[in-house]
Structure 1
Amino acid sequence: MNTARYALSAACFSSALAAAGAASAEPDPAQAAFDRGVAHMEAGRFDQGCPEIAQSQSLDPRPGTLFTLAECEALRGRLATAIARFDEYLALYPTLTAAQRRSQGDRERSARAQRAALARDVPELKLVLSPGAPADVVVERDGQVLPREAIGASVPVDPGEHAIRARAPGGPALELLVRVDKREKKTVTLEVMPRPPRPPEVPPPEKPPVEDKRAPGAGGAVVGAPPAATAPEAGAGGRRAAVYVAGGLGLVGLAVGGVTGALAIQKKGVVDDRCAGTACDADGMAAADAMKALGLASTIGFGVGLAGAGAAAVLLFTEPEPASTRPSGGAWVAAGVTPFGPGGAALEVRGAW
């Protein structure tokens, strides 16, 4: 397998990796990705070159590839990422054999020098939670979940914008963009809202027990009360609504009867002017016909109005007293509206004395 690899220094993009082994007839994906990455670096396209070199390192990890990746990230402006790659290289270097170290040339010394230079410019970002934030908040930076120990600590980051997301389980998510420049040390407080509390469950109201007063030896019949002692209280709202409906219908009927009656009187004046006996001209005939129709409408309106007003009065004056104030036993009277058939109803009056 062809093991030729090239590593570029930050100054001149030149130095070659040692070659070993025989050439292979099959293409090497790691070598191809490395070659593409170096070509992008030489053209100044670091955003395309660095991912290619990173792919080569993941396919076939090599010390020289790792060193080149660190230089690419530094030229790309990702200072914290470059320092992390240089740290990986410096941690790997002591594990190499003597022959492997000789093949690395002066990369170990160059890695230390470049890392020290980058450390002067790398910014730091500290993310802290607001007081009272839940303990189980999940914080992400650029799509990566931060470990618990990283929250509240000043961490080296790459210069530029960073997407921050924080969320407590069940609560709303906090999302913001934070920009950090070279050498800046920034602290950002995350105002994380806890999960809203559940509303308390309200138990349904308990129905009061129905007191059943039965006379001894009466065979189970209720004495001195209507069949349902709580019926007047339970139906008080419906009765009052019936009073309003009947009263409103009465007022409308009386208003219609009054208006149509007045119009009928007006038409009668036209008939008197345009008719002589039973002979009328065209205007007189039209007025006579209109007078008959208005008179009929007035009669019906007054009838409906009087009926509605009467029903409202009966319902209002016969409304039973509440059970708490009505004496037990004795005479009683009650009225109500009983529906029957589609759209029909009847006024019902009951009592005992």
Structure 2
Amino acid sequence: MIARSVPFLIAGCVLAAAAPAVAEDEEQVRALAQQLFDEAEALLSAKHVAEACPKYAASYRLDPHLGVLIYLAECYEHNGQLASAWGAFREAEGMAQARKDQRLSYARDRIDALTPRLSRLTVSVPTETRVEGLTLYRSGLELLPAAWGTPTPTDPGSYVLEAKAPGRRHWTTSVVVPPEGGTVNVTVPVLAPGAEDLLPVTAAPAPAPAPVQTVPTARAPQTTPPDAPRPTPPLVSAESSAGASDVSRRVTALALGGLGFVGLGVGGALGVGARSKYDESASLCNDANVCTPAGTALRESAQSKALVASVLTGVGVAAVASGLVLWLTAPTTPAPSSARAAWSVVPATSGWGVGAHRAF
């Protein structure tokens, strides 16, 4: 009974040891976020605004804080990225309201000031254009159907619009969004039928080569006498072999169980973190899954953590189950006795054979 509880005690110790490792990893993430924030502050002080904004964004993605988000929004505004600034201030508004933070009024003031200055891009898709499988992209990012025909706040600059559908020719065009208060409307035309999206024609498989017939060769005559003397191999004890196998199975079971519980512990911690990131992004994304830049960063972080958590949890369950099966099915070594049976391979008058004898 005591022996069978050993693997569970070891697994518990391993799981307890995994918790500080997860905490240490979180501390390293926060340290990196602080370093990126300090670098962004230095770049902003040196008037390198365009280089500072990605540093603020990376710091907020690693360790989301309201103060960092407001700094990021201000950086976007100074850099002329008014749509990104507006979205970041909207996210800060939701976070401050949830926390009853006094910076709520400042975020709302900046939203009101930026709203009339926004440039908007509208991508219209007429009914006759909406064929099955139609997909739209804006500079490589997919535009969900819920955003079609909606004036979307967009940062100034040049964008490439694409439309794709199975069995249709691709359509693409370039648009330029002005810095402030501009409105750009683009209508996607009906995609012309084309062969470029059809499945390629594959050549018929080449016929199989004809089988090659071989002529059997005559077997060389046997030169070794059938009754030549052979050395007698050493005796192998069935009891000692079973004991070694028992120990090996139990060691393997303990190792698998320990690794499995480590995977479950780390996977569970990452799963909790993924859920937390996703919940934070809920107020930053609408029903069409259109998110602010900070909301997109939170969703991507949540998806990455969830994927790793799923893999580690699956591996952990499989390892624990395998270890448990090995432990429970390991044979029990019988108590030694004064007489034991041993098997050996011995020569017989007509060839080799297997015999048993008793040894003391």
TM-score, normalized by length of structure 1? 0.44
> In proportion to residue count, which structure has more helix?
2
* Greater Rg over alpha carbons, structure: 1
Specify which structure has the bigger relative contact order, considering alpha-carbon pairs within 8 angstroms and separated by 6 or more residues. 2
TM-score, normalized by length of structure 2? 0.43
